[in-house]
Amino acid sequence: MALEKKPEDGFQADAEELMNNKSRELLARLAYAPSVCPALKGACTRLEADDTFTFDLHREALIQLPGIAKNPVQRILPVNAVEVEDKNRKKVKIAIVFSGGPAPGGHNVIAGLFDAAKEANPHSDILGFLMGPEGIIEGMYQPLSRELVDSHRNLGGFSMIRTGRTKVDTKEKIILSRKTCKELGIDALVIVGGDDSNTNAAFLAENFLEDGVQVIGVPKTIDGDIQVADASGQPLCGVSFGFHTAALAFSRDIANLCTDAASDVKYWHICKVMGRVASHLALEVALQTHPTLTLIGEELADYLDEERLAAAEKKGERDYTAYGMTLRHLSRLVCNAIVQRAAAGKNYGVLVIPEGLLEFINEIQALIIKLSTLIAEYNRTHDTDFHSDLPDLDKKMNFLRRLAREAEERACISVWNQRDHDFFSDIPDFFKEGLLMERDSHGNFQFSQVETDKIIVGLVKDYLKILKEKGIYKVGIDRKWYENTLLRGGLKPDTFTSALFRNKDAKEAPLLFKEHIISVKTLTLALEKAGLLQDGGVPPAILKVFRKSEPDFRMQPHFYGYDGRGSDPSPFDCDYTYNLGRTVFALISGGATGQMAVIRNLEKDVSQWEPMGIPLAALMHLEERKGKMMLVMEKKLVDVDSKAFRAFKAMGEIWLAAGPGEDPCRRPDPVWMTGEKDKPLTLRINQL
């Protein structure tokens, strides 16, 4: 009996209904009302300077940012509406701009600011500069209506007004930005971004003082490297927004790879996660998923080769190359983990690395600094730029070779010498090209574009080959499988055990072939010596066992970055960013400028959160950019003495699981819009 067909238009209507973008997740997000901390619940607030928080202000900040350098930390406190002066309820025009890469929760910063401003005065205007700071320079903007804001609440991305990486870093750009704000009648400018963007906010605040335009920064980066404590160590900003959501997104995927690796038992998954300068994301992912091995860059930077130091001391010398991790040391570290697990019969695993791992390798960091300086110097002294004049690797290498030769001929101190060039020449071409690639608009080396995983795998494969030839890298053989295989081949297992295995008496551990048995030839010799070689040569069952012991290192690379930063925010980030938006308005209505909006006590319940403004100038230090020292916001690296890192280190051997039994992988909770609100584990552990 033929099925009755529905009319085509009916089918299409049903199909569209099934495929519509009004998913349950979207509806739940749009309906979600973020929790608000007590100080921000009312329409009216006041600012109170708090002198208990102090900073060691860099003297260069006093010179370059004199107008905002002495700003205090400002607490935000609630007040009754009747106590508020008219100026706090006046109509204002506030502009907001996203700067840099997206981070989950940005739309809620706008929503919190919008709601707070409209509650104070329904006639206030909020507009968004489009495409990042370029929108300020070019005067590209969009008024933000309630309908537009409501349609983006609790959603990921920066699509409402989009973002960009233009930097307002010249007199001409500052003049154009001031002109735009003056023509639009802007009372306050809000810059949502990372360390470079908040550096931008500090200098704009200084330059806008004359115009009476307030500038407030908001800490945004999934890298988690904006963390602030005062001079005495009191935490003021525990983490930037977007970090928690991105870490959860990466963790869910990496946990799936842990499951896959233990199922297919033939791959090592190399997972590179975002984190150009700091390894916070790698650490959080490790705490969330318990991968086989995680490399934290900040720990590698503190590495000390005790064996080399001891050897040098015996000779009465000091080996300075023993301080800090080298590429050689790094490959040994990874290989040791691979060899240990292979011996346990687990020739698979999951390795997590931060994208900026190579910056913590001394010899690579030195190369990056030198090459960045040379490129910046070239661009300053030529009418064209380095990459236009020298478009391919051969031309770049010729340029560097000439510099090294000139330094040697003149016998002078040079940024690039023959020793640098010799080392650089020995590394693979794809790595050379990566180190010589064009820097970003801030002069930063673009680690996400370098195939860090490929570099590490290349080094590891080379060393594993050596270990395999030495008979050290072998796959452990399950004792029961060995016995069954020999019995099915008509052989007595106990007869061959002593001749083949170096740990024959181990009752639970997998059997390991003796180190000198590395080929069929050496296997034949071992059997012949033991009087076990048959007329036809090596028995097929023995050969089958030997082949199973031969390791085959297979790698699957993965990069986690853009997918995580585009995720819909977790409930924690939804609440956090909404409160940040309301904090921004409280700072603006209180007359603040040159401040960064933060929430203190993030590890606690929302009822204990403390909104405040901290001085941007106090967060600055001098850093090398484009070959010269510049005043920029200081990034926070992973503290290897922190509780979270110590907890991670304490579990290293357990998570490596180089023994019998299943791997102790952890499955992180999904992002629930209903139910208990989770928080970053690093944040929670550090406050234990």
Q: Which residue has the tokens 């509780």?
A: 643
> Is 219 exposed, middle or buried, given 0-12, 13-18 or 19+ CB atoms closer than 10 A?
buried
Integer Cα distance of 667 and 290 in angstroms: 9
Cα torsion for 120, 124, 129, 133, to the nearest 10°?
A: -60
Q: What are the structure tokens assigned to 413, written together?
A: 């101190």
Q: What are the structure tokens assigned to 335, written together?
A: 């290989």
Out of 187, 223, 453, 573, the active site residue is 223
User: If we measure between CA atoms, which residue out of 99, 93, 170 comes closest to residue 130?
Assistant: 99
Question: How many Cβ atoms are within 10 Å of 624's Cβ, its own excluded?
Answer: 14
Active site residue 223: yes
Question: How many Cβ atoms are within 10 Å of 155's Cβ, its own excluded?
Answer: 20
Question: How many Cβ atoms are within 10 Å of 162's Cβ, its own excluded?
Answer: 17
* DSSP code per residue over 330-388: HHHHHHHHHHHHHHTT---EEEEEETTGGGGSHHHHHHHHHHHHHHHHHHHHSSS-HHH
Q: What are the structure tokens assigned to 145, written together?
A: 């209506």
Integer Cα distance of 597 and 215 in angstroms: 11
Q: What are the structure tokens assigned to 357, written together?
A: 């791992």
Contact status, residue 120 vs residue 89, Cβ threshold 8 Å: yes
Strand partners of residue 125: 93
- 161's CB contacts (< 8 A; 6+ apart) are 96, 97, 98, 110, 128, 129, 130, 135, 142, 144
Contact status, residue 326 vs residue 337, Cβ threshold 8 Å: no
Instruction: Give me the active site residues, please.
Output: 223
